[in-house]
Structure 1
Amino acid sequence: MAGERGAAATAPYGLVGHPLGHSWSPKIHERLGSFPYALHDLDRDEVEPFVRDGAWRGLNVTIPYKRLAAELADVRSPAVERLGAANTLVRDRDGRIVAENTDVLGFAWMLARFCRERLSESPRGLLEGRKALVLGSGGAAAAVRDALEHAAGARVVTISRSGDETYATLAERHADAVLLVNTTPVGMFPRCPDSPVDEGTLSRLTGLRGVLDVVYNPTRTGLCLSAERLGLPTESGLAMLVAQALFASGLFQGRDLDDALVGTIEREIYFQTENVVLIGMPGAGKTTCGRALARVLGRPFVDLDEAIALETGRGAAQIIREDGEDAFRAVETRVTADYAARSGLVIACGGGVVTRPENRDLLRQNGRVVFLDRPVSELSSAGRPVSQAKGVERIAAERMGLYRAWADVTLPCTGSAAGDAELARELLGL
């Protein structure tokens, strides 16, 4: 059997699906106490014998087998009966297979925290009898709709690419919606920061109080970034992922788990996956500080100017001299998109990365941005063609406002790479 090799065959807990790539489930379940936890990448004809006869105590089930999991169960929760799909299976003391849909429970938990902490309301206070928009019509959409209807009393409208309610009429027909939830994979790594709804359409939904996205990689989806710019409270889907695992693990272990673990595990994952992005004036020390910070954090370091040179065979100065600054900026954006979509890096940007607005979303989708603020009098233009052509003072006048606007953290440079790296670590809480 494809998914049963070595210790995986006898692990009491695990995840069934196909295909299975990288998954946070083993790490999350280890923290929750439901381990060993194995990944079982099974073909369809392997699922029923594994579920019926496998040596497991608790299973999570992902696409494309959630409906099959519900069919194979002996006992189904009310949510599973309503949806016809299960993502959690447990063997009870009598050997029966019990099915639950903890995606419903996980989204309901995420929604409750979002309403409480970001809107100072309960889900029912926000949504009872009011309109919520759900983008997508797949399994995740069904779970979200169920939670919105049963836990919050919302009037749910499903938006899809076909049917009566489509994206083309979204703003025209649903400006009164108070919540929008994306359940489609649009914007998921590596196609980020794509968004299922453009910012212009989102701005016309004038009744919105918040925007949620079940996608959790990248940290900030394109939809969430648009919502942020419009001043709307927003959150992507890591909380749902961890919360559904917490409810599943509680069923596996036969005990209630402290839901404070959701926030703890979220923070641990963010600290491991979020990039640290350094921006600032040419010559501010981004590369030396970045290398030192990467050593302190034990992370890979990427200098975007060096990455451009590796890809093109020419350094920034040569590209600008031979092809012009606009050509260089286009290459810079392409390379920025590549590395900024990855996870767990320390990235040093060129000083002019802020001159292209589209780079902001690329950098912020999966990272926190640190502005290295160094006095202009300490900056040199040596070897920097743009600085030599325009002058450091003029460049500072053009860019300082952008650096501050893009930054999550501003770091006053100490002049010491090691000192700046330590200060950055403290400011970021890493």
Structure 2
Amino acid sequence: MEKNIDILREKIDEIDTEIVKLFVERMKTVEKIGLLKKKNNVKINQQNRESDVINRLSKLVPSEYIPALEKIYASIFETSKQHQSTTSNQIQDSAYSKLHSSDLLQETSIVEKSNNSHETKKNPQKKFALIGRNISYSFSKEIHANFADYDYEIINLEPDELNDFFEKRTFGGCNVTIPYKRNVASLCSELSEQAKAIGAVNTVVQREDGSLFGDNTDYYGFLHMAKKANVDFKDKKVLIFGNGATSSTICAAVKDCGGKITVVSRKGKTTYSDLYLHKDAQILINATPVGTFPETENQIASIDQFENAEAVLDVVYTPLVSRFVQQGIEKGLKASGGLPMLVGQAKKAAELFAGKTISKEDEEKVFHKILRQKQNLILIGMPGAGKSSLGKAAAKLLNRPFIDIDLEIEQREHLSIPEIFTKYGESYFRAKESEVIAELAKTSGAVIATGGGAVMNNRNRLNLRQNGFCVLITRNHELLPLDGRPVSKEKGIKKLEKERLPVYKEFSDAEISNNGSFEDALNLLLESFK
């Protein structure tokens, strides 16, 4: 046994040696980037870069390793930034001072003022964060980067690290998410009236004297989401799923708006087995994480059982449109996912952090920008309509990953589409297609070209819709090729289009023609996604 352990330890030693070599190579590259940033007047901290790296790397490891990966890279990022700062400060380029803009000079004076203050250790230069557990998926960093100019990090904390984080005071303020909203309330010197009444805090500001002020900006964010969806709570029976801190905030907001509340939870007064008693509920709200990435096909409850349902709201924002919300939309109900709430609460938090007022117009601009950034651009249409070629070109111009569902299937099966049809039949292909879509549609910010028959399957439509903006690409019959397209050959293009076109049109958010030049079609596609 000891011999086996020794062998494994030797293997670990070999791996560690390679890791150290790669680390040295990484730090040398970091140093080069730092010098270029200094020369070109670029800030050391890049708001979106770290979360993008974590999101990309998280897809490469088993889910149980993601928390460890996040901690390791948080340390690597911090070390890299410190090294870049140290290295770049050693540059003695006489032309360097000429590169400073007036804004950067102003920023430098603010930092110097902060460094000369006796409160520097307690309230460092405008450094803010989101704290929570397993939160690498959060959009908060990108949202705050659009509201104000301050450093904002995503920090994963274990429960035993929470008190130490607040004792060190290494921040100017922070947002708080699951599972710490109630814990943090007890760590604040003072609470806003809303936070005090709700018993939960999602925004903490460190004052000049080092004391902590706690607020609940989720309250505003939730009401913003409801207003954006035209949902009025007055005298309505409202069913709220979940009894956590977010549920408490929503209960307070709905009560203040005149709603009649029933909270449903696993062990509370009203449980999920009691739903049959509340068929008359008019507004349904999911305040739980059910349906969140990666378990995006889960749904808190079927809306079918609520005969009087008028509206559906879900705090989940990954995916952008949960199964719960999708069912509400299909039934013609007022509905919204959690992104408006996320942006709304961030706006209020940013006002506290930056000490300024942010307009409704700017709030809406940030919402639309983040929505488009996180949406997948989904291309649907007949076989041969140009989905793959247009998608690849659009992805390059938009600087997004490109996913071709048919190509992905071919690579996994090591067979071409016609070969799969010949060897296994269409049913086998469709099952593989659904499997691939279920996996890849969970991503965000990509361009995805689908096969011609993909959206004829309801599960595929649901999975594509969760993060997707869908564009139908049309093309005249005589321009649609048959080679390599077994279904088109078998059924004929006209018959196939007659079957599929109504589904295409119902599913799409926009429609463009690809009957002219490639450039014209590409421009139309990009214009539709602005």
Matching residue of 1:85: 200
Matching residue of 2:45: none
Residue type of the partner of 1:181?
Answer: I
Residue type of the partner of 2:260?
Answer: R
> Map of 1:259-298 to 2, 5 A cutoff?
259-298=360-399
Partner SS, residue 499 of structure 2 = helix
Structure 1 Cα separation of the partners of residues 164 and 389 of structure 2: 56
Q: 1:45 to 1:341 in 2, by over 3 A?
A: closer
Structure 2 Cα separation of the partners of residues 168 and 402 of structure 1: 36
Greater mean alpha carbon deviation, residues 175-184 or residues 158-167: 158-167
Matching residue of 1:169: 274
Give the CA deviation at 1:417: 2.8
Matched, 1:242 2:343: yes
Partner SS, residue 382 of structure 1 = coil
Structure 2 Cα separation of the partners of residues 20 and 393 of structure 1: 49
Greater mean alpha carbon deviation, residues 337-346 or residues 12-21: 12-21
Partner SS, residue 388 of structure 2 = helix
Give the CA deviation at 1:366: 0.7
Larger gyration radius, structure 1 or structure 2: 2
Matching residue of 2:159: 44
Structure 2 Cα separation of the partners of residues 110 and 345 of structure 1: 25
Q: Which of 394, 417, 424 is the aligned partner of 1:316?
A: 417
Matching residue of 1:160: 265
Any gaps of 5 or more consecutive residues in structure 2? 1-70, 83-120
Matching residue of 2:112: none
Give the CA deviation at 1:83: 3.0
> Map of 1:249-264 to 2, 5 A cutoff?
249-264=350-365
Matching residue of 1:216: 317
Matching residue of 1:33: 148
1:194-253 deviations in whole A, cap 9, x for unaligned? 21122xxx1342322211111111111111111111011111011111111111121223
Could you state the TM-score of these two structures normalised by the residue count of structure 2? 0.74
1:142-197 deviations in whole A, cap 9, x for unaligned? 111111112x1211111123344233332x32233221111111211121232112
> Map of 1:320-359 to 2, 5 A cutoff?
320-359=421-460
Give the CA deviation at 1:347: 1.0
Give the CA deviation at 1:85: 2.0
> Map of 1:172-191 to 2, 5 A cutoff?
172-191=276-295
Structure 1 Cα separation of the partners of residues 215 and 451 of structure 2: 50
Give the CA deviation at 1:311: 1.4
Q: 1:42 to 1:341 in 2, by over 3 A?
A: closer
Q: Is the 8 A contact 2:143 2:370 kept in 1?
A: no
Give the CA deviation at 1:94: 4.0
Give the CA deviation at 1:400: 1.6
Q: 1:72 to 1:282 in 2, by over 3 A?
A: same
Q: 1:219 to 1:234 in 2, by over 3 A?
A: same
Greater mean alpha carbon deviation, residues 262-271 or residues 410-419: 410-419
Q: 1:273 to 1:159 in 2, by over 3 A?
A: same
Q: Which of 241, 248, 256 is the aligned partner of 1:142?
A: 248
Greater mean alpha carbon deviation, residues 280-289 or residues 50-59: 50-59
Residue type of the partner of 1:269?
Answer: I
Q: Percent same amino acid among aligned pairs?
A: 35
Matching residue of 1:123: none
Q: 1:13 to 1:383 in 2, by over 3 A?
A: closer
Q: Is the 8 A contact 1:161 1:167 kept in 2?
A: yes
Matched, 1:395 2:496: yes
Structure 2 Cα separation of the partners of residues 64 and 404 of structure 1: 42
Residue type of the partner of 1:402?
Answer: V
Matching residue of 1:66: 181
Residue type of the partner of 2:241?
Answer: L
Residue type of the partner of 2:258?
Answer: G
Matching residue of 2:190: 75
Structure 1 Cα separation of the partners of residues 158 and 317 of structure 2: 26
Matching residue of 2:233: 127
Could you state the TM-score of these two structures normalised by the residue count of structure 1? 0.90
Matching residue of 1:196: 300
Structure 2 Cα separation of the partners of residues 366 and 343 of structure 1: 6
Any gaps of 5 or more consecutive residues in structure 1? 120-125
Partner SS, residue 127 of structure 1 = coil
Structure 2 Cα separation of the partners of residues 128 and 395 of structure 1: 49
Q: Which of 473, 477, 502 is the aligned partner of 1:376?
A: 477
Give the CA deviation at 1:34: 5.4
1:100-139 deviations in whole A, cap 9, x for unaligned? 1111221122223322xxx6xxxxxx32233111111222
Q: 1:321 to 1:178 in 2, by over 3 A?
A: same
Q: Is the 8 A contact 2:417 2:484 kept in 1?
A: no
Greater mean alpha carbon deviation, residues 279-288 or residues 159-168: 159-168
1:25-78 deviations in whole A, cap 9, x for unaligned? 222222222511223333334332331331322111222322221111111122
Matched, 1:24 2:127: no
Residue type of the partner of 1:274?
Answer: Q
Residue type of the partner of 1:156?
Answer: I
Structure 2 Cα separation of the partners of residues 146 and 54 of structure 1: 30
Structure 2 Cα separation of the partners of residues 354 and 49 of structure 1: 50
Structure 2 Cα separation of the partners of residues 96 and 184 of structure 1: 32
Partner SS, residue 238 of structure 2 = strand
Q: Is the 8 A contact 1:278 1:371 kept in 2?
A: yes
Q: Is the 8 A contact 2:205 2:214 kept in 1?
A: yes
Matching residue of 1:112: 227
Residue type of the partner of 1:333?
Answer: S
Greater mean alpha carbon deviation, residues 136-145 or residues 7-16: 7-16
Residue type of the partner of 1:207?
Answer: N
Structure 1 Cα separation of the partners of residues 326 and 236 of structure 2: 25
Residue type of the partner of 1:272?
Answer: Q
Q: 1:193 to 1:56 in 2, by over 3 A?
A: same
Structure 2 Cα separation of the partners of residues 21 and 337 of structure 1: 21
